[in-house]
Chains A and B, each alone.
Chain A
Amino acid sequence: MADVPKIVIRRLASRAAQAGKPELHPDANLLTAFAEQSLGSHDRLQVLDHLAQCFECREIVSLAVPELVDAKVVPRSVSAPWLSWPVLRWGAAIACVVVVGAAVALREREAREVRSVEKGAAAVGALPASSPQREAAQSVGSSMASGSTGNIELAQQAPSQKAMTTPIPGSKAEAGAQVEVEGAAQAAKPSERKAAVADLMARAAKDSVIPGRAKDDLAEAQPSSGNSGMAGAVALASPAALVAASQLPRSSPMRVPRWTLSADGMLQRSLDMGRSWESITVSLEASLRALAANGFDIWVGGTAGALYHSEDAGEHWMKVQAIANGQPLTADIIGVEFPDPGHGRLNTASGEVWTTEDAGLTWQRQ
């Protein structure tokens, strides 16, 4: 700012002193109107002239001007707070668009996967029966077909398995418990069970268009030391093995199957998030009433104490006979709870409660 000559300031002060105090002052109404910029031009000029020579009125006006006026008059570009209503409204709108877009994209992707799986199945079926490619595809153990074709195959597998009752060697004799295992002989082999799990994973995997990937997962899932026979079955039923098995799907893109019981006591499974269901024949005699699923570990209970257990997402089943103090469970099972693979609880129609703390090896009746 350029300096005003000192003589100007001196003469300003001198003029003010010589003029003395003006005899007439604008009243409060005029000063208020001046401060609020509501005076007419004539009155405003009068007040300005007066203020130029009256220190006292300048002081009064300065005190009387509210700070609010300052905020109103000064056109300052104040940035709106980021969490204001317009921002929230637009944010909500954008969030809605993103959610809808994501849902549509997900649905599209799933539909594409289903189509690719169907194409794969058709391709396998179109191969000559003796062709090496078809053998390779069958050796993977996974029928790439989905939907009704797969359902029929699964439904036909389970009843074809012959029942086999095998007493568990002595270790649990002091508890007076016995476990009867019913199932196919190959179900006792952990490697085959895990192969079945991997097979299931391959069927349900999103990336099922690359069969080799399922095979790689299968190879990685193979344990280095193989167990055999009943020891293997017990080992697989142990909590550690169950945990290991339950970790399998976590490292793979497979979805955990969904389960339900039909009104006529049939177990049903869905590998595509409930869009389609396949019936799993667990027992021809019993009608199933309750189930408990924990990852790939599933328990189902039904009439006349029927209790079945699968550790490979329903590919293979073991019949478990719960016995406590030499008394087998014969009542209808109406409730099955397995909060973790080792601990379970059964509720019967007769009001009995059966519990296990070792994945069904021994039972206690309460």
Chain B
Amino acid sequence: MPVIPKKSAQAAAAPHAELERTVAELYAKSKAESLGLSREDFAGILGEIAAKHAPGASAKDLRAFCCSLRIEELALARACAAGHNQAWEAFLLRYRVKLFDIANYITKESSAGRELADSIYADLYGTSMRDGQRTSKLASYTGRGSLEGWLRTVMAQEHVNRYRRQRRLVSLDEESEEGAQFATPEREEVAVVDPRVEAATDEALAALSGEDRLVLAAYFLDGRTLAEIARTLGVHESTISRKLDKLAKSLRKNILANLSRRGMSRRQAQEALQVDVRDLRVSIRDRLTQENAHPSFSEKKAGTGEEPG
């Protein structure tokens, strides 16, 4: 048995004691005991989440991370996943009605909403088995957002997946009813664009921030309204309007500058931008018909291979 110097043993024990104190505080705060979770279970859950989202963090950062979690809702979700009855009673009391409300909000239709809510409820309860044990979807909740928000997201993911599956399984009769067989084949537009213009545009787009590209994609590709984009980003829609205006101007300016660097005169560059006046048809919906969903960031990192949204 190796002999640990007294000083280094004390240094190693300090963060451990700090973590123990944090776990004790959060355990009391989460009321996990009344939900049937033991302190060891609770510490294990916190350790699992910290390893997933804050690997290698210092004791101080780890404490800050743990304190930022929705600890009470986390305890409730994990107690439900562990199959404690009192936790399920509390969960149903708090979220049962909300589940149906959220489903109706997402599907915009009551029967589809009920179907979605029932499906999610089954997933939350855990109908699938892994290693002989029932696995509940609530076990993947980490408390980084509210439990209600997480339920919304999970239901939205399920709704999008369902839509994709339905699109894939649509019958020929339905297609013909929709007039698909009479549809004129879309002519592929042969865009004869100067490659310098494409390169200049790509360069200008690459220089944008993720938020700017998100706004452009949501507005011009998805056809979302200013209000919808603003709601997603948590800002006022006038902010989005100003941002789009500013983006349009800066993009034009940057593309012209890039074209100039590529040997075009200013007049040529302006003509190159004005020539491209064809309306672009982007089939957004087609992109929904994907075969498989892909694993999430964290799930991929964790190597669980669980199916994400």
Interface residues of A (CB under 8 A from B): 1-13, 15-16, 21-33, 35-39, 45-46, 48-53, 55-67, 69-70, 73-75
Contacts and interface: CB of A to CB of B under 8 A. Distances in A.
Contact of A32 (B146, B221, B231, B244): B146
Interface residues of B, number: 80
Count chain A CB atoms within 10 A of each CB in B145, B148, B241 and give the residue with the most: B145
A11 B294 contact: no
A52 B156 contact: no
- Chain B at the A interface: SS class: helix
B212 to A, nearest CB: 8
Given A7-B193, A74-B230, A29 B288 contact: no
A35 B248 contact: no
Contacts of B159: 63
Contacts of A12: 205, 213, 216-217, 220-221
Contacts of B211: 48, 52
Interface stretch (B7-15, B40-48, B174-182, B195-203): B195-203
B309 A9 contact: no
- Chain A at the B interface: SS class: helix
Contacts of B142: 29
Given A15-B205, A22-B294, 4 more contacts: A32-B146, A52-B214, A63-B156, A70-B230
Interface in B228-261: 228, 230-232, 234-237, 241, 244-245, 247-249, 251-252, 255
Contact of B144 (A33, A53, A70): A33
B191 A10 contact: yes
Contact of A58 (B106, B222, B248, B295): B222
B124 interface: no
B215 to A, nearest CB: 9
B140 interface: yes
A27 B297 contact: yes
25 contacts: A2-B248, A4-B220, A7-B198, A8-B201, A9-B282, A24-B296, A25-B295, A27-B140, A27-B309, A28-B141, A28-B153, A29-B298, A30-B297, A33-B149, A35-B149, A45-B210, A52-B210, A52-B217, A55-B288, A60-B160, A61-B156, A63-B152, A64-B149, A65-B231, A66-B152
Nearest to A2: B248
Interface stretch (B19-27, B125-133, B271-279): B271-279
A363 to B, nearest CB: 77
Contacts of A59: 156, 160, 222, 288
B300 A10 contact: no
Given A29-B142, A29-B145, A51 B309 contact: no
A37 B220 contact: no
Contacts, number: 228
Nearest to A3: B248
A37 B233 CA distance: 8
B152 A29 contact: no
Interface of B: 68, 105-106, 140-146, 148-150, 152-157, 159-160, 191, 193, 197-198, 201-202, 204-205, 209-211, 213-214, 216-218, 220-222, 224, 227-228, 230-232, 234-237, 241, 244-245, 247-249, 251-252, 255, 273, 276-280, 282, 284, 287-288, 290, 293-300, 308-309
B248 A1 contact: yes
B148 to A, nearest CB: 8
Given A1-B245, A7-B193, A8-B251, A64 B282 contact: no
Nearest to B235: A73
A21 B290 contact: yes
Contact of B157 (A10, A28, A67, A75): A28
Given A6-B276, A63-B156, A26 B297 contact: yes
A50 to B, nearest CB: 8
Nearest to A45: B210
Given A7-B193, A35-B145, A75-B236, A62 B224 contact: yes
A83 B204 CA distance: 55
Contacts of B255: 5, 7-8
Given A32-B144, A32-B152, A10 B280 contact: yes
Contact of B287 (A7, A33, A55): A55
Count chain B CB atoms within 10 A of each CB in A33, A38, A61 and give the residue with the most: A33
Nearest to B228: A62
Contacts of A35: 145, 149, 152-153, 232
Given A60-B153, A66-B149, A8 B205 contact: yes
A237 to B, nearest CB: 78
A38 B296 contact: no
A315 to B, nearest CB: 79
A48 B210 contact: yes
Nearest to B201: A11
A63 B154 CA distance: 10
